[in-house]
């Protein structure tokens, strides 16, 4: 019997538990026993684990977050990081790892390959910004929350004649902002791929008012950069173990800039962690289930240092080296959606 170690790292997403369940159940069918490491790479370094038999993954399909816990621990920031991981894997007789996470978590899995550690990655991030896969676990669920939020904001916006700004996640890629904006009928869509000017946003609002539209809804990605600023708007300047600052606040920046120019109130809603929480959508459950089963299949075929990916409707194994370190921005062919109804 082989043994797989599963870990989940980075910001959580709805659908991770569905992937864990699939790996455990499909693995069990193929005589692969699973254990779960707790809190991402931290659990592998510190040998914190729990057994994962089919009985432990019963009833988790519809639950958001991760039953294993998550962290942004980077073992390569710790001198003994790799040695500790090797020791944990030996002690638990682990044959291979499945890492579920975004670019940072999966980049550790890839780096470990050069130390003889066999791993497979499963992409999960609501930002949907990992290369070579059309979708990451979590994106569809977050999009559902954003669409619902925009529907709800519309009622106050038109009843009170307000300008409402909805800030959503998306550090470097505007998938959530663009697709959420289209699905929820936002009037102005601002994304990290295109620096924006507040003057242009102001003009768009005035144009709407000239057309007797007495409210405007703006959706803005946290990573969208105002032309006038040197860099993105940062909530916390302190960098994490993977070198990222915490973004946030660009919605309020736009509101402050617009406030003096407008005769109607400008208000901001930051969806923050609400968009990452809650039940996974049907699409995320299906994607996660397929990715989990695919990870086991790839292991049985002895294909490691790869990531599960969906391209069209087909699940593929793509090389981690090729998928990581490049943000997947909005396809240029979709950018027309930003200004479709301007
Ligand atoms: O999961 C990716 C992400 O959602 C980014 O869009 C966001 O910047 C980041 O996580 C924030 O997560 P946390 O506050 O948990 O570090």
One digit per residue, the tens of pLDDT, for the chain of length 342 reads 999 999 999 999 999 999 999 999 999 999 999 999 999 999 999 999 999 999 999 999 999 999 999 999 999 999 999 999 999 999 999 999 999 999 999 999 999 999 999 999 999 999 999 999 999 999 999 999 999 999 999 999 999 999 999 999 999 999 999 999 999 999 999 999 999 999 999 999 999 999 999 999 999 999 999 999 999 999 988 899 999 999 999 999 999 999 989 888 899 999 999 999 999 999 999 999 999 999 999 999 999 999 999 999 999 999 999 999 998 999 999 999 999 987
**Residue 226 covered by a domain:** yes
Domain count, the chain: 2
| 291 and 266 share one domain | no
For a mutational test of ligand 1's pocket, the pick from 171, 233, 235, 236, i.e. the residue with the most ligand atoms closer than 8 A to its C-beta, is 171
| Residue 9, token pair as written in the block | 């790292």
**Residue 341 covered by a domain:** no
Q: Is the CB of 246 under 6 A from ligand 1?
A: yes
Q: Interior CA angle at 292 toward 290 and 296, to 5°?
A: 115
State the CATH number of the domain containing residue 166: 3.40.50.460
Alpha carbon of 330 to ligand 1 centroid (Å)? 18
Q: Is the CB of 103 under 6 A from ligand 1?
A: no
Residue nearest to atom 7 of ligand 1 (CA): 169
Alpha carbon of 174 to ligand 1 centroid (Å)? 14
| 122 and 205 share one domain | no
Q: Is the CB of 125 under 6 A from ligand 1?
A: yes
**Residue 332 covered by a domain:** no
| 157 and 272 share one domain | yes
Alpha carbon of 127 to ligand 1 centroid (Å)? 8
Which pLDDT value is given to residue 309? 98
| 260 and 286 share one domain | no
- Non-local (6+) Cβ contacts of 1 within 8 A are 31, 32, 33
Which pLDDT value is given to residue 315? 98
Q: Is the CB of 173 under 6 A from ligand 1?
A: no
d(CA 215, CA 158): 6
Residue 127 known to be catalytic: yes
| 166 and 235 share one domain | yes
| 7 and 97 share one domain | yes
Residue nearest to atom 15 of ligand 1 (CA): 11
Question: Distance of alpha carbon 31 from its chain centroid, rounded?
Answer: 31
C-alpha dist (Å) from residue 326 to 49, 102, 118, 274, 332: 31, 12, 22, 27, 16
**Residue 335 covered by a domain:** no
Helix axes 139-160, 282-300, angle to 10 degrees: 160
Ligand 1: which atom is nearest the Cα of residue 248?
Answer: 8
* CA-closest candidate to residue 304, choices 90, 103, 4, 1: 4
| 40: containing domain | 2-137+280-323
For a mutational test of ligand 1's pocket, the pick from 128, 141, 169, i.e. the residue with the most ligand atoms closer than 8 A to its C-beta, is 169
| 150 and 100 share one domain | no
**Residue 342 covered by a domain:** no
**Residue 165 covered by a domain:** yes
| 191 and 237 share one domain | yes
Last residue of one domain, picked from the residues 277, 295, 315:
277
Question: Distance of alpha carbon 143 from its chain centroid, rounded?
Answer: 11
**Pair 124, 322: CB distance under 8 Å:** no
**Pair 244, 142: CB distance under 8 Å:** no
Q: Is the CB of 171 under 6 A from ligand 1?
A: yes
| 131 and 205 share one domain | no
State the CATH number of the domain containing residue 25: 3.40.50.450
Which pLDDT value is given to residue 116? 97
Question: Distance of alpha carbon 148 from its chain centroid, rounded?
Answer: 18
**Residue 340 covered by a domain:** no
3-state helix, strand, coil split of the chain in percent (to 5) is 40, 20, 40
3-class SS of residue 50: strand
| 19 and 131 share one domain | yes
DSSP string, 283-312: HHHHHHHHHHHHHHHHHHTT--SEEEEEET
Alpha carbon of 170 to ligand 1 centroid (Å)? 8
Q: Is the CB of 330 under 6 A from ligand 1?
A: no
| 92 and 151 share one domain | no
Alpha carbon of 64 to ligand 1 centroid (Å)? 15
Residue 170 CB-density burial (10 A; 0-12 exposed, 13-18 middle, 19+ buried): buried
Phi and psi torsions of 323, nearest 5°: -80, -30
Of the listed 127, 129, 284, 305, which one is catalytic? 127
Alpha carbon of 11 to ligand 1 centroid (Å)? 5
| Residue 46, token pair as written in the block | 């510190």
Which pLDDT value is given to residue 120? 98
**Residue 336 covered by a domain:** no
Which pLDDT value is given to residue 342? 78
DSSP class of 333: G
| 147 and 114 share one domain | no
Strand-strand pairing, 188-190 and 96-101: unpaired
Last residue of one domain, picked from the residues 250, 277, 304:
277
């Amino acid at each position: 019997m082989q043994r797989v170690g599963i870990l989940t790292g980075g910001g959580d997403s709805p659908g991770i538990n569905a992937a864990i369940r699939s790996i455990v159940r499909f693995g069990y069918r193929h005589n692969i026993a699973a254990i779960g490491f707790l809190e991402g790479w931290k659990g592998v370094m510190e040998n914190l684990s729990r057994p994962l038999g089919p009985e432990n993954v019963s009833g988790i399909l519809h639950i958001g977050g991760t039953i294993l816990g998550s962290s942004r621990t980077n073992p390569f920031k710790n001198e003994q990081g790799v040695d500790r991981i090797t020791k944990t894997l030996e002690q638990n007789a682990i044959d291979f790892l499945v890492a579920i996470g975004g670019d940072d978590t999966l980049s550790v899995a890839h780096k470990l390959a050069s130390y003889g550690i066999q791993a497979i990655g499963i992409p999960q991030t609501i930002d949907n910004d990992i290369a070579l896969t059309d979708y990451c676990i979590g994106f569809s669920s977050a999009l559902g929350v954003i669409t619902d939020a925009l529907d709800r904001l519309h009622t106050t916006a038109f009843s009170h004649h307000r300008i409402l700004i909805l800030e959503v996640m998306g550090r470097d890629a505007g998938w959530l902002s663009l697709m959420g904006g289209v699905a929820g009928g936002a009037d102005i869509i601002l994304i990290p791929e295109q620096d924006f000017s507040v003057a242009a946003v102001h003009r768009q609002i005035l144009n709407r008012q000239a057309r007797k539209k007495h409210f405007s809804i703006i959706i803005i990605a946290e990573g969208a950069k105002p032309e006038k600023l040197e860099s993105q708007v940062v909530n916390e300047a302190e960098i994490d173990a993977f070198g990222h600052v915490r973004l946030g606040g660009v919605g309020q920046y736009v509101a402050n800039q617009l406030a003096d120019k407008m005769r109607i109130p400008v208000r901001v809603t930051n969806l923050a962690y609400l968009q990452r929480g809650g039940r996974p959508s049907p699409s995320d459950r299906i994607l996660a289930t397929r990715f989990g089963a695919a990870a086991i299949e790839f292991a049985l075929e002895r294909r490691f240092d790869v990531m599960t990916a969906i391209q069209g409707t087909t699940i593929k194994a793509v090389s981690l080296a090729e998928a990581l370190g490049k943000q997947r921005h909005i396809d240029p062919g979709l950018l027309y959606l930003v200004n479709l109804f301007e």
